[in-house]
Amino acid sequence: MKRVIHESFIKELEEGLASLIELYYHFSLIEEPSEQQSDQLFAILDLALYDQQLAEAIEKVDLQIAEELEIRDKLSFYEELRQLQSLAPSIELSVETAFIPPEKLGSIDDH
């Protein structure tokens, strides 16, 4: 009987941790969270100061969010590039020509 209680307690803790991580992930993606959402986010971060497992899970979520934002930024860049190409089809735009290093532009005196 003691073992069953112990296992159910661990399961409840794991489910609670999963719920906190889901909330953290959700609130972290909101650009302008409400005051209540911000308070909940900070409460989760406060708990992580005392719970190493929660702190490690938050670190993993932060890395995942960073990767997702990086992908989103790249997709946004390529979409803007595609829109520019559709506006001026005679101009060849590519990633290589979108960012011309200053040394290839020459100086103002060269013109």
Residues 29-77 pLDDT 10s: 888 989 999 999 999 999 999 999 989 999 999 999 888 888 888 888 7
Q: Where are the domains of the chain?
A: 2-110
Nearest CA among 52, 57, 60 for reference residue 20: 57
pTM beyond 0.85, yes or no: no
Does residue 10 surpass a pLDDT of 80?
Answer: no
Angle at which helices 52-87 and 35-48 cross, to 10°: 130
Give 15's contacts (C-beta < 8 A, 6+ positions apart). Answer: none
Report how far residue 52's alpha carbon sits from residue 103's, in angstroms, rounded to the nearest whole number.
49
The mean pLDDT of the chain is 77
Report the amino acid identity of residue 81.
Answer: L
75/93: higher pLDDT: 75
Does residue 95 surpass a pLDDT of 70?
Answer: no
- Confidence tier at 4 by pLDDT (50, 70, 90): low
